[in-house]
Structure 1
Amino acid sequence: MFTGIVEIIGTVKEYITVDDSASGGNGVSLTIQNAADILGDCHLGDSIAINGTCLTVTEFDNDTFKVGISQETLKKTCLGSLEKGDKVNLERAISGDVRYGGHLVQGHVDTIAQIVSRENESNSIIFTFKLRDTEFIDYIVNKGFICIDGTSLTIVDVDYSAKTFKIMMVAYTQSKVIMPSKKIGDWVNIEVDLTGKLIAKQVQVALENQLKAKDSLLLSYIDKSIERILDEKLKK
């Protein structure tokens, strides 16, 4: 688990599509440098979020670490577009004594979104994003949490018809994350608030159970509602 509070910004040292080294496993690997500040307590197998994506450390030294990237992760995230020299947000998995300055983040990216506008307001920047997988707009609510490229942010506006949402980034946050360097048309990783997904699942299960039950109060209500509507139509 993570908090969405970026610890440092690292730099892509190497991106290998078929890494045949011992730590690469013949898969895709990503090596990040300028990461010394978060590697003092690092161990093989630890989780580090790169742009909001929880990945496992397979090799490290004083300044760099390597992770493997699965094909499923490449489909869900923007990591496949990273190139040598690109900057990335980094956060270690939380320990028991960490304050939750952001919100509970799994590091499991749901989808990606494209920056469709950015505008300055005083010392803040307002970003507007459009989701690639539009069904996730249902989990985004005004003043709710969202994790963008590993950064915990607050939604300031949602347009459910256009499938877009906005966040406002204050000056302090701008200095700590990679978002300000991005331009219109760039893509970002999105993890919607876990709470919304859990509630939606609970409601779905409850409705399905009601529909299966012989003495379902829900079905009874639906039947009565249909009867009432039909009676009203027939009277006309």
Structure 2
Amino acid sequence: MSRPIRIGVQIKPQHAEYAQIRDAVSRAEEAGVDIAFNWDHFFPLSGEPEGKHFECWTMLGAWAEATSRVEIGALVTCNSYRNPELLADMARTVDHISGGRLILGIGAGWFEKDYDEYGYEFGTAGSRLEALSEALPRIESRWARLNPAPARDIPVLIGGGGEKKTLRYAAQHANIWHGFADVETLKHKSAVLDRHCADVGRDPDDIERSVGVGKPPEEIGDDLVAAGATLFTVGIGGPDYDLDLLTKWIAWRDAR
């Protein structure tokens, strides 16, 4: 399958007022980005650990109204923080508010401070992955039962590189698989994902390969495309939300 190159931005909801976050989303959409992501945490992941921070899904509901073209989603939702049926309903609702532009990014969770401060059981990496495997079919089942149904077949993005479990879940459920990888790691993980697809009877070309990028496209873009990636996401932080690197990736996309 020949896929178009797409550019995403992850607008980190930390160390900024919401007005600055909203402005960053608006500027990114105007610049031509394809997808605007936030993340699903309760505290900053860098800088002042008790710094300003906002919640993921209420923000996505606001972005659904504040934007008109870009797809939106979390990179990624923590499965532990919401009952799967509730998450399915939240996603369906934001999908309708946005006119069918939501991507459900989801992962098993890892940031222990979130769990401790908000009263969730952290468990083990294995228990969190098992919970994710149980949640994914429940989300899909709830979408099939909701009235009204989602505005479209909501794309599922699964983030993570665990070869035994996470990549198998991606083969079973994902439309997009997201990792943070150099070229050789991307090739290796993609090959593992392909093998899981073969095991579950899935065409591996059905799954878009996505990577986070922190370097200019002229340094890494063509090599990542050759390794199979077509979705490239630039992370930007508050309070200024500098779009310089993002606009370089957008220009590279447009020149291809």
Q: TM-score, normalised by structure 1?
A: 0.27
Q: Which has the larger radius of gyration?
A: 1
Larger RCO: 1 or 2 (CA < 8 Å, sep 6+): 2
Name the structure where strand makes up a greater proportion of residues: 1
Name the structure where helix makes up a greater proportion of residues: 2
Q: TM-score, normalised by structure 2?
A: 0.26
